[in-house]
Amino acid sequence: MNSISIPLSIQIVIDDVGWWTGKDGSKENGPFRTGIARDHHPADYEAIAELGKRLGMRPQAAFIISEWDRTDRLRSLPDATHRGERWSNPWKSSPLLDEAAKILRNESRHIELALHGLGHEYWGSGAMDRAEWHDGNGRMRPEGSVTGHLDAFAALLEENDLGPFPESFVPTAFYHRFGGEGGGLSGILERYGIKYMSTPFSMMHRSKRPESELFGVDGSLITVNRGDDLCGWNRIAPDPRGEIEGPVCGMHWPNVLHPDPEKNGDVVRRWVDLLEPYRQRFDTMLAANTAEGFSQLIYRWGVALREEPSGCVLDFSGLSGCRPPGLLDYFTIKVKRDKHIVSSSSEISLFENASLSTPEYRTVVVKRRGSENSALIRMANGGEP
């Protein structure tokens, strides 16, 4: 239908947040880190919050937590860091940890912490190997190592008062197997409360076919195709250009930062300028958060719109068998103002989100009341009565 759209929702995902050391250590048996020529600063967290505030979003910060280890507990997981049993976090006594933790707590409406990893790579033999959760052939690390890393991530979150265990996951180096044997990594993540993950499908090993080339359901996890980032992983202060063609605007932490932390806002403004038009377009929107954005993607895929004389039929039959726990019971449509919504059938409720409506269209939230396969939006021509 030309008068109604189920817009593609775009979520921001920022990898490698959490490092304090910027230097790429991969040539010295260490992790890649963020690969920039300065260390990180609390202002780098404020940059993410500012991006979220300016766009009305809650960007995902895929978090690496080893350099938040205040008690060197990671010595007990020698495969988690390049120092193994001799691990001693050089940042453990820095006052910057408390300063940044306060920002993350105070700005939690505009920053979503996502699970990325402890040290990003894997040192099972003492030598650095990519990556933390899978190797380059899509083989999951030993289950005991995986659960040990997840337990340590949870403990370090608690140690720093950074909130509950995340609901979202981004695999380090994008190494992942979709549909792994016995549930694979996704089955383990589910036990820890993960509901959402994103990674480029072009790099993802597959043991089964995803529902579409934009998303799949792996066990119970909504797994979304990140596509290609617009900037290189260690490029600082870019002027981002290009088209976002999928549901994720992926980037790495340096991409939203400046060599001078006090000038991070200059780079944030560039991303706001790039992303703001996607909020205004009839066929796209910016996600308020991951749960809404990834749910919107499934509804856009599975709901068919059919025009009838009385209005618009929403056909939900395409969602049959696709009800992962992370799927919300509501989604967003945009309705051009040459159409007037009169009412809806009892299977749904409609609420206008006036703050996101424009002179061209109204932004309307559709909330499902049950599991019926269809619903009707009664409409009339002529715009507002």
Same domain, 351 and 239: no
Would you say 330 and 298 are in contact if contact means Cβ atoms under 8 Å apart? Answer: no
* pLDDT tens-digit readout, 254-284: 999 999 999 999 999 999 999 999 999 999 9
**In whole angstroms, what is the distance from residue 31 CA to residue 128 CA?**
8
Confidence class of residue 1 from pLDDT cuts 50, 70 and 90? low
How far apart CA 289 and CA 276 sit, in angstroms, is 16
User: Mean pLDDT across the stretch 321-330?
Assistant: 93
CATH number of the domain that 228 lies in? Answer: 3.20.20.370
Q: What is the DSSP letter of 136?
A: T
pLDDT recorded at residue 340: 87
The verdict on 265 and 368 lying in the same domain is: no
User: 253 or 370, which is more confident?
Assistant: 253
Whether 295 maps to a domain, the answer reads no
Q: Give the CA count within 13 Å in the CB-facing half-sphere of 291.
A: 12
Q: Are residues 267 and 317 in the same domain?
A: no
Residue 159 CB contacts under 8 Å (≥ 6 apart), including other chains:
68, 69, 70, 71
> Please, are residues 119 and 132 in contact by the beta-carbon 8 Å criterion?
yes
Mean pLDDT over residues 180-200, rounded?
95
159: left (phi over 0), alpha (psi -120 to 50) or beta: alpha
Same domain, 97 and 203: yes
Residue 115 sits in the same domain as residue 238:
yes
In a shared domain, residues 118 and 262? yes
Residues 272 and 179 in one domain: yes
Tell whether 256 and 310 lie within a shared domain: no
The per-residue pLDDT for range 137-158, each reduced to its tens digit, is: 999 999 999 999 999 999 999 9
Q: Choose the final residue of a domain: 227, 260, 286.
A: 286
Q: Does residue 3 sit within a domain?
A: no
Mean pLDDT taken over the chain = 96
Q: What is the DSSP letter of 181?
A: G
- Which of these three, 286, 317, 339, is where a domain ends? 286
Q: What proportion of the chain, given as a percentage, has pLDDT over 70?
A: 99
Is 214 found in the same domain as 146? yes
List all residues 6 or more positions away from 278 whose beta carbon is below 8 Å from its beta carbon: 10, 244, 284, 285, 286
Domain count, the chain: 2
Q: Is the pLDDT of residue 385 over 60?
A: no
Q: Is residue 109 part of a domain?
A: yes
Q: Quick one: what percent of the chain has pLDDT higher than 90?
A: 92
pTM above 0.85, yes or no: yes
DSSP state letter for 74: G
Host domain of residue 331: 303-381
204-255 confidence digits (pLDDT tens): 999 999 999 999 999 999 999 999 999 999 999 999 999 999 999 999 999 9
3-class SS at 17? strand
CA–CA dist 341, 344 (Å, integer): 8
Q: Using CA atoms, how far apart are residues 285 and 227, in angstroms rounded to an integer?
A: 17
The answer to whether residue 298 is domain-embedded is no
Whether residues 330 and 190 fall in one domain = no
pLDDT at residue 307 greater than cutoff 90: no
Alpha-carbon span 374 to 96, nearest angstrom? 53
Reduced to 3 states (helix: H, G, I; strand: E, B; else coil), residue 302 is helix
CB atoms within 10 A of CB 192: 16
Whether 71 is covered by a domain: the verdict is yes
61: region left, alpha or beta (phi > 0 left; psi from -120 to 50 alpha) = beta
- pLDDT of res. 34: 98
Two tokens at 21?
């050391």
Contact (Cβ atoms closer than 8 angstroms) between residue 121 and residue 114: no
Q: Are 169 and 278 in a shared domain?
A: yes
User: Any idea of the CA torsion for 179, 78, 121, 66, to the nearest 10 degrees?
Assistant: 110
Residues 311, 278 share a domain: no
| Residue 182 confidence (pLDDT) | 84
Radius of gyration for the chain, computed over Cα atoms and rounded to the nearest angstrom: 22
DSSP result, 229-242: -SS-TT--S----S
